[in-house]
Amino acid sequence: MKAKATKLLGFMIILLFALSAANTVRAIGVTTTVTAGSNPVGVAYDPATHEVFVANYQSDDVQIFSDSTNAVVADITGLPGVYDLAYDSGKGEMWVTGGTVAYAISDATKAVVGNVTNILPNLTRIAYDSGKGEIFVSASAYDLPTPDVVQVISDSTYKVVDNITTQTPFAMVYDSAKGEIFLSQSNGQAGGANVAVISDATNSVITTIPVSGTGFLAYDSAKGEIFAQTGYTVTVISDSSNKVVATVSGVTFGWEGSLAYDSGKGEIYMNGENAVEVISDSTNTVIGTWSTGFTQPTDIAYDSGTGEVFAANSLIPGIVAVISDSSSGTSVSSTSPTSSITSSTSSAPTSTAPTTSTTAAATSPSSSQASSTSLSFSYLLSVAVTAGVILSLTLVSLRRTKIRA
């Protein structure tokens, strides 16, 4: 009987661990969605105000969302063709490209405080250089009789201070450890693609790194690496050697999926078609997949304050999915959002003067916070109940064993 009691105790302990493991892999994934303006193509996080900025290309506005309520706190309109965003931590300003203009938005007043107009057309991507207090903007000439360049803007004078000749520039990211800008570009008539490395000291290309495609980039400050989306692969580049050191296998969603680095978990998030994939920077493998159903994925940004990722889908109206990083590493086929917050947007205005409208933020907790609290309570309750059952059955079994002995 003692053997039976021991077996029973062992079985119940295994059951307890199984319940614990089941809770660990329970995916939170997409916790909520918010409705943005028409065709949101740019997303960026402001760590000073704990707000997320969304650039809506077709409705010509930049919306600002509170990351605690996921509600719109301001809507800056009258910005034609806004596209990409970059946060200037030195000035507390959010920069956004718009056609042939780059705008600086104060995160304190939620209004445009400066703009740069003497720059080339077809502005696409933008990056902030915290070491120099400069903004780098890529401008592709396409069929125009002007060169493809990256223009350098001073954030103190709001003027162009330099032009760097490139070859069909696309995405950019700033490497704060090296004082360098990494730029994905094509090789022009030579064909193929590469990642160019630009020194912010000389404003010149110091080397190029051949890759299999031109896509989005993310800088991993912990590893000193650049993750480059290159077709249906993700290429890892060392910033010390400027060479490819790994290729991530198992990437299945989307061509030109935008990337964001999660400094809290050491992970890269890629916003691809129908899903957001999670890549570990320690193993360079895909460790999680969150279903979004997005058929037109655009930009993605990591919120270090809440440990959440904001992924945009370019629709009319647009959708931004909010994803908790607390459950990353667990693959799920689909996750239904728990709520949807709709915000009103203005149609394209006739005036070019930006206006600001502010909506009071709600004080109720966000869906991700509620999900995490509910998950923790359920887990503790299941552990307590299971432990009670184990103790009761064990005591009964041991009592019977003692009586029969």
Two structure tokens written together for 271: 């916003």
DSSP-derived pairing of the beta strands 123-129 and 243-248: unpaired
The residues with which 14 forms a beta bridge, in sequence order, are: none
pTM reported for the whole predicted model: 0.76
177 is a domain residue: yes
CA separation for the pair 199, 201 (Å, rounded): 5
Read off the pLDDT of residues 335-361 as tens digits, 9 standing for 90 and up: 333 334 444 333 333 333 333 343 333
Tokens 């008539």 identify what position?
189
Mean pLDDT of 282-301: 92
- Collapsing DSSP to helix, strand or coil, 377 comes out as helix
Mean pLDDT of 234-257: 89
Mean pLDDT of 376-398: 45
The helix, strand and coil proportions of the chain, stated in percent and rounded to the nearest 5, come to 15, 45, 40
39 is a domain residue: yes
- Per-chain mean pLDDT for the chain: 78
402 is a domain residue: no
CATH code: domain of residue 162 = 2.130.10.10
Q: How many domains does the chain have?
A: 1
Angle 24-29-32 (CA atoms, 0-180°, nearest 5)?
A: 135
401 is a domain residue: no
Asked if 110 and 117 count as a contact pair (C-beta separation under 8 A), the reply is: no
307 is a domain residue: yes
Q: So what's the pLDDT on residue 79?
A: 96
Please, which pLDDT band fits residue 372 given cuts at 50, 70 and 90?
Answer: very low
Q: So what's the pLDDT on residue 144?
A: 56
Its domain, for residue 216, covers: 27-367
Q: So what's the pLDDT on residue 348?
A: 34
CA separation for the pair 189, 348 (Å, rounded): 38
> 308 pLDDT exceeds 80?
yes
With residue 387 as reference, give the H or E element that holds it.
helix 367-404
Read off the pLDDT of residues 112-168 as tens digits, 9 standing for 90 and up: 999 998 677 677 799 999 999 999 998 765 555 567 889 999 999 999 999 998 888
Asked if 27 and 287 count as a contact pair (C-beta separation under 8 A), the reply is: no
- Identify which has the larger pLDDT, 376 or 172: 172
Asked if 136 and 126 count as a contact pair (C-beta separation under 8 A), the reply is: yes
Between the CA of residue 268 and those of 183, 221, 228, 259, 394, what are the distances in Å?
18, 11, 10, 7, 46
373 is a domain residue: no
Mean pLDDT of 262-272: 95
- Identify which has the larger pLDDT, 306 or 359: 306
Asked if 267 and 279 count as a contact pair (C-beta separation under 8 A), the reply is: yes
In the chain, the largest separation of any two C-alpha atoms, in whole Å, equals 98
**What's CA 258's distance to the chain center, in Å?**
8
The residues with which 325 forms a beta bridge, in sequence order, are: none
Please, which pLDDT band fits residue 227 given cuts at 50, 70 and 90?
Answer: very high
> 41 pLDDT exceeds 60?
yes
Q: So what's the pLDDT on residue 195?
A: 96
303 is a domain residue: yes
Two structure tokens written together for 122: 């077809």
Please, which pLDDT band fits residue 311 given cuts at 50, 70 and 90?
Answer: very high
State phi, psi for 15 to the nearest 5 degrees. Answer: -60, -40
Please, which pLDDT band fits residue 191 given cuts at 50, 70 and 90?
Answer: low
Please, which pLDDT band fits residue 186 given cuts at 50, 70 and 90?
Answer: confident
220 is a domain residue: yes
